[in-house]
Structure 1
Amino acid sequence: MGAEWVLNSQREHYMKELIEALTGDRCDIGF
């Protein structure tokens, strides 16, 4: 149960970082 929660929170954090990186790049490029 605890391990699953850690996995889920890590995945959420990874997705947030990924989205921020993508949107940041997109804003810089001007899409």
Structure 2
Amino acid sequence: SKTIYVGRAQKKEERKKILQHLFEERRKEKILKTQ
């Protein structure tokens, strides 16, 4: 069960990175559009 927990933790971190990346991309798009 320990490995499953580690896998879940990694997935959580990955998801966080992906969400942050998407957020950054959208923010950049907004900045480009407003300029």
Identity of aligned residues (%): 10
Q: Tell which structure's C-alpha radius of gyration is larger.
A: 2
Runs (5+) with no aligned partner, structure 1:
none
Query: How far is the alpha carbon of 1:3 from its aligned partner?
Result: 0.2
Q: CA-atom RMSD, angstroms?
A: 0.3
- Runs (4 or more) in structure 1 with deviation over 3 Å come to none
TM-score (norm 1): 0.91
TM-score (norm 2): 0.82
